[in-house]
Amino acid sequence: MKAVIITIGDEILIGQTVDTNAAWLGKMFNQRGITVEKTISIRDDEHAIHQALDESFKIANVVLMTGGLGPTADDITKESLCSYFNTELVLSEKSLQQIKGFVESRGYSVNENNYNQAMLPEACTVISNHIGTAPIMQFEQEGRLLFSMPGVPFEMKYAMEHEVFPRIEERFSFPPVFHQTVMTYGMPEAFLAEKLNDWANQLQDCVKLAYLPSPKGIKIRLSVYDTAISGWKEAVETAVIGLKEEIPELIFSEQEENLENALFHLLKQNNLKLSVAESCTGGLIGSLMTSIPGASEVFEGGVIAYSNNVKQHLLSVSEVVLEEFGAVSEETVREMASQVKNKLHTNCAIAVSGIAGPDGGSEAKPVGTVWIAVALGNQVVARKFQFGSIRWVNTEKAAYSAMHLLYKLIKKEVMNS
Amino acid sequence: MKAVIITIGDEILIGQTVDTNAAWLGKMFNQRGITVEKTISIRDDEHAIHQALDESFKIANVVLMTGGLGPTADDITKESLCSYFNTELVLSEKSLQQIKGFVESRGYSVNENNYNQAMLPEACTVISNHIGTAPIMQFEQEGRLLFSMPGVPFEMKYAMEHEVFPRIEERFSFPPVFHQTVMTYGMPEAFLAEKLNDWANQLQDCVKLAYLPSPKGIKIRLSVYDTAISGWKEAVETAVIGLKEEIPELIFSEQEENLENALFHLLKQNNLKLSVAESCTGGLIGSLMTSIPGASEVFEGGVIAYSNNVKQHLLSVSEVVLEEFGAVSEETVREMASQVKNKLHTNCAIAVSGIAGPDGGSEAKPVGTVWIAVALGNQVVARKFQFGSIRWVNTEKAAYSAMHLLYKLIKKEVMNS
């Protein structure tokens, strides 16, 4: 089962847009056992599109195409598909109705561009785009499938998950690949790999190991590509048990989910409500926690205490503490955590204060210094972190380190109770 | 002058690595007037590499190849180049000395892997890698050039700037390209294009137009690919002036920057301090504003008023208003904006309250309903928005719409004063 990805758009080739669609599609297919043989990025050009299709159909069972479906004149994917498949554009009533509904729900009325978007190649199967105006097209050529999707990432992803992949699954059978992901936080890859060296050497041959690092933690992925081999399930289970013995304090989940999600579930299970007091993270922790549907069950709100004024007047951090120890100090974050917890009547809280950079550092507190406090019941735990010099990395690491610190504190309490 | 980029590596095709090299190379070439016709990503596979080379030499004067040059067994680019160019690996003394110097300067001594890296195809011109151990190779085929570079982004970029591009410039001549980007927010692409139809039809032939949409707004890009034509500068200037007449309320910048950045500069220029009261955005606006270095000059902080309790107790939104009109209402966001502005002693404020979804909607206030208020001095402007059904898209749109509303209000005031 082989696939080729074609991404269309001048903006990709001139480097104005990084092609995250191809990476996302590659990841999705890989996880599901489909090999992506090639990714081709081309300009909005009919000849180039035809050539890419010729190439792709030679090697792939499934061709995924994104981009070039906008309502404007520079987008020519549809026309190019017509000439390639020797068909012509006709009005799709179904699409027009869907586009109409979508546009009108936003308070606009359908215009000529929208009509043009409902003009689709006669030879294709039209698939509705439920969250945008460019329909998805499905073509078939000698048993091979081609899907043309919008280039807007969230529209493409939605279409892939809800419409396109189910159609691929229906048509082809491919050997299932098994991935077991264990999520860790708190140790850089090089050290994690060193610590896990012996464990890794004892893995059975059928289990492949990969470390996937990001500022949000390191995923450890165990993959079995040949699930026809007997005993692979036990091999994976043994590996996971071993891993939990090696690094119990670093693991926050045994499934592919991010830290905010794991924290959300832990809070929910234990009937806890969270509040936050954020200085250098500026609202990022709140933003991450509220990205989860149903966040209101565990998240009350908080204070973005960016300036000292806000720390003092909205959080009642004492002026003496701020003056004596500074905004980036253990004393300050401890007060921030306790105060926000009490003021918002929650049973746990996170507080962060640090120097995100690029400026504002000193010898005693260089850029990347971050103090974090987490409160649970009457306990407050504070810890200092030293990150690097890049602002967004520091902010992200501060947010994730803070959530991880609270996660560990709750886990410990749950185990002890 | 045409180029093709070939990126090699399984990690790209399985989506583990986003191909930023291709985007960087595309941008560099585009800025310098070289058209990238195509980008091809393939696996570490000899046959695939040969095919990609065949394709590329058919259409390009210059082929850039990255990746597959590491010291481990899965990297086979060098061997594939040997078989393609019918040559063999020989020891490059020059490379060996360079690698030795590099490795020893880091306190290691040369090992077998390093020797292997100095084994290079006899038919190529060897170019030193000054910041790594994988040398760069230059091949020539019927007047066309091929450069093979390491995939590590900073090594590739260094090699491009200091070694490869100068060699391309020496060999070929190409006209510079000009891009002018205008950033807009507040109107979907189809309607923007309709509104700008007449303007677009009056563009001179040398000016090419592209719309680049995202949830953060739509970039309008005007490009001149042939700057040898006289009068192109005036043509672009006229186009931008026309654009500003057509959609003055939608434009927030005439250079490539995001909305938070444009708002930051506008606040700074006008000595304004911002506070935020965020319900459904949960801290996202604060997070976006504080992502900018020096944010403390314009951003004071705010309240993440996720629950009604917080709205009432920390922001003093009256219980009567919350009960009578609900949390998602004009009355509530107006109070939120005024209160946070006063409590944090700022001269402007943003307040957002909405139903992000997927649940929590009603007939009167469906998912995607968002009320936004912005305050400046004694003015408060409120507006209702109707977004879609996807939580993160709604949150992002709410944040950007709110920043845009404040941006417009400040602009208007500045113009009037």
Of the candidate ranges A64-68, A86-90, A191-195, A249-253, the one whose mean pLDDT is the lowest: A191-195
Tell me if A15 and B37 make a contact (CB, 8 A cut-off). Answer: no
Over the stretch B348-388, which tens digit does the pLDDT of each residue have? 999 999 999 999 999 999 999 999 999 999 999 999 999 98
Please state the rounded mean pLDDT for residues B301-315.
Answer: 97
Compute the 3-state secondary structure of chain A and give helix, strand, coil in percent, each to the nearest 5. Answer: 40, 25, 35
Query: What pLDDT sits at residue A193?
Result: 82
Please indicate if any CB of chain A lies within 8 Å of the CB of B287: yes
**Which residue among B37, B190, B345 sits closest to A48, beta carbon to beta carbon?**
B37
Query: What pLDDT sits at residue B72?
Result: 62
Tell me if B286 and A303 make a contact (CB, 8 A cut-off). Answer: no
Contacting residues for B67 by C-beta, under 8 A, at least 6 apart: B7, B8, B9, B12, B21, B75, B77, B150, B151
Tell me if A306 and B290 make a contact (CB, 8 A cut-off). Answer: yes
Contacting residues for B203 by C-beta, under 8 A, at least 6 apart: B209, B222, B235, B239
Query: Backbone phi, then psi, for A74, in 5-degree steps?
Result: -75, -10
User: How far lies A341's CA from each of A280, A322, A353, B284, in Å?
Assistant: 19, 19, 16, 21
Residue A30, token pair as written in the block: 């890989």
Tell me if B23 and A40 make a contact (CB, 8 A cut-off). Answer: no
Over 70: is that where the pLDDT of A379 sits?
yes
Beta strands in B160-317 (DSSP E): 178-184, 207-214, 217-224, 251-253, 274-278, 299-304
Over 70: is that where the pLDDT of B73 sits?
no
Please state the rounded mean pLDDT for residues B157-166.
Answer: 94
Average pLDDT, chain B: 93
More confident residue, B76 or A189: B76
More confident residue, B142 or B105: B142
Over 80: is that where the pLDDT of B394 sits?
yes
User: How far lies A133's CA from each of A142, B186, B215, in Å?
Assistant: 29, 17, 14
Please state the rounded mean pLDDT for residues B167-185.
Answer: 90
Please indicate if any CB of chain A lies within 8 Å of the CB of B385: no
Residue B250, token pair as written in the block: 């939608």
In the numeric block, the tokens 């004149």 are attached to: A73
Cis before B293 (ω within 30): no
Please state the rounded mean pLDDT for residues A211-220.
Answer: 80
Query: What pLDDT sits at residue A125?
Result: 96
Rounded CA-CA distance A333/B396 in Å is: 29
Over 80: is that where the pLDDT of B31 sits?
no
User: How far lies B72's CA from each of A11, A89, A205, in Å?
Assistant: 34, 51, 19
Beta strands in A124-199 (DSSP E): 125-127, 136-141, 144-149, 178-184
Query: What pLDDT sits at residue B11?
Result: 80
Please indicate if any CB of chain B lies within 8 Å of the CB of A276: yes
Instruction: Please give the helix or strand (H or E) that residue A197 lies within, else none.
Output: helix A197-201
A210 strand-pairing partners: A221
Beta carbons of A253 and A247 less than 8 angstroms apart: no
CA distance A18 to chain B (A): 5
Query: What pLDDT sits at residue A111?
Result: 87
Tell me if A19 and B19 make a contact (CB, 8 A cut-off). Answer: yes
Tell me if B189 and A283 make a contact (CB, 8 A cut-off). Answer: no
Please indicate if any CB of chain B lies within 8 Å of the CB of A117: yes
Residue B216, token pair as written in the block: 């953060």
Residue B329, token pair as written in the block: 């209402």
Q: How confident is the model at residue A340 (pLDDT cuts 50, 70, 90)?
A: very high
Name residue B250's amino acid: L
Geometric angle at alpha carbon B200, from A96 and A68, rounded to 5°: 45
Q: Is A228 helix (H, G, I), strand (E, B) or coil?
A: coil
In the numeric block, the tokens 């990205």 are attached to: A291
Please indicate if any CB of chain A lies within 8 Å of the CB of B362: no
Q: How confident is the model at residue A228 (pLDDT cuts 50, 70, 90)?
A: confident
Mutate to test the interface with A, among B11, B54, B290, B300 (most CBs of A within 10 A): B290
Beta carbons of B84 and B50 less than 8 angstroms apart: yes
Over 70: is that where the pLDDT of B89 sits?
yes
Over 80: is that where the pLDDT of A175 sits?
no
Q: Which of A122, A125, A126, A44 is nearest to A77 (CA)?
A: A44
pTM of the model: 0.81
- The half-sphere exposure of A231 on its side-chain side, counting CA atoms within 13 A, is 6
Rounded CA-CA distance B180/B253 in Å is: 11
Residue A288, token pair as written in the block: 């991450």
Please indicate if any CB of chain A lies within 8 Å of the CB of B388: yes
More confident residue, B109 or A129: A129
Q: Is A182 helix (H, G, I), strand (E, B) or coil?
A: strand
Burial (CB count <10 Å: 0-12, 13-18, 19+), residue A368: buried
Q: How big is chain B by its Cα radius of gyration, in Å?
A: 28
CA distance B17 to chain A (A): 7
Please state the rounded mean pLDDT for residues A345-362.
Answer: 95
Average pLDDT, chain A: 93
Chain A contact set for B203 (CB, 8 A): none
Beta carbons of B80 and B49 less than 8 angstroms apart: yes
**The dihedral formed by the CA atoms of B190, B194, B195 and B196, expressed in degrees to the nearest 10:** 100
Cis before A366 (ω within 30): no
**Which residue among B27, B306, B357 sits closest to A15, beta carbon to beta carbon?**
B27
Over the stretch B207-226, which tens digit does the pLDDT of each residue have? 989 888 777 889 998 999 88
Query: Backbone phi, then psi, for B336, in 5-degree steps?
Result: -60, -45
Beta carbons of A42 and A55 less than 8 angstroms apart: no
Tell me if B306 and A299 make a contact (CB, 8 A cut-off). Answer: yes
Over 90: is that where the pLDDT of A31 sits?
no
A–B: how many Cβ contacts below 8 A?
A: 290
Query: What pLDDT sits at residue B71?
Result: 65
Domains (range + CATH), chain B: 2-171 (3.40.980.10), 178-253 (3.30.70.2860), 259-416 (3.90.950.20)
Tell me if A37 and B42 make a contact (CB, 8 A cut-off). Answer: yes
